[in-house]
Amino acid sequence: MSPPPTPGAPPPGGDRVTVDCVVNDRAVHLDVDPRLLLSDLLRHELGLTGTHVGCEHGVCGCCTIRFDDEPVRSCLMLAAQADGHRLTTVESLAAPDGRLHPLQEAFGREHGLQCGFCTPGQLMNALDFYRRAPEMTDPEIREAIGGHLCRCTGYAGIVAAIRSAAAIEAERAGEATEPTEASG
């Protein structure tokens, strides 16, 4: 009689699956355990530790990333499901020169974070609707972030940040198009 399987041990035969995907505009090719979670692939295989893991069962929203530009909870997906898809994580938000995304700047200005643990998930979710947020009511914004638990802020700062990000973006666009004294 064969011994019972050890919890957490790889499946018999040590099968691996190939994952080809694009993460933050970089092509990724990996052979992984078929049971590896997508959140663990990002954090442990790719070193993208900006994706946080809280509950690991789809409740807190900390692990939210963009999957073909839709927000998904990476703790509820297998790494193998990323094959052929395009993923973005919080590491992609800031510009290459380090300038923060307007949403990130808004979270700083409006005190939308304290410990920051929930923030990457909040940001990757809010990318969907921050440009519409100035026309949304507070209850509508609260509903849109309803799947994201924050233990620190009481949410008021998060709502204010999401509401103000589009204005920061517009400010920057204005700065970029203003004529300089030399050119004017």
- Whether 16 contacts 35, CB under 8 Å: no
Q: Which residues contact 160 (CB under 8 A, 6 or more apart)?
A: 110, 111, 112
Amino acid at 163: R
Shortest separation between residue 131's beta carbon and ligand FES, angstroms: 23
Shortest separation between residue 152's beta carbon and ligand FES, angstroms: 3
- Whether 67 contacts 60, CB under 8 Å: no
CB-nearer residue toward ligand FES: 56 or 83: 56
CB-nearer residue toward ligand FES: 16 or 100: 100
Which residues contact ligand FES (rule: CB under 6 A)? 53-56, 58-63, 73, 75, 113-119, 150-153
CB-nearer residue toward ligand FES: 73 or 101: 73
139-174 burial code (b ≥16 CB/10 A, e <16): eebeebbeebbbebbebebbbbbbbbbbebbeeeee
Shortest separation between residue 57's beta carbon and ligand FES, angstroms: 7
Shortest separation between residue 32's beta carbon and ligand FES, angstroms: 18
CB-nearer residue toward ligand FES: 115 or 170: 115
CB-nearer residue toward ligand FES: 61 or 102: 61
Shortest separation between residue 53's beta carbon and ligand FES, angstroms: 5
DSSP type of residue 1: -
Task: Output the CA–CA distances (angstroms, integers) from residue 128 to 4, 13, 103, 145, 153, in the order listed.
Answer: 46, 42, 11, 11, 21
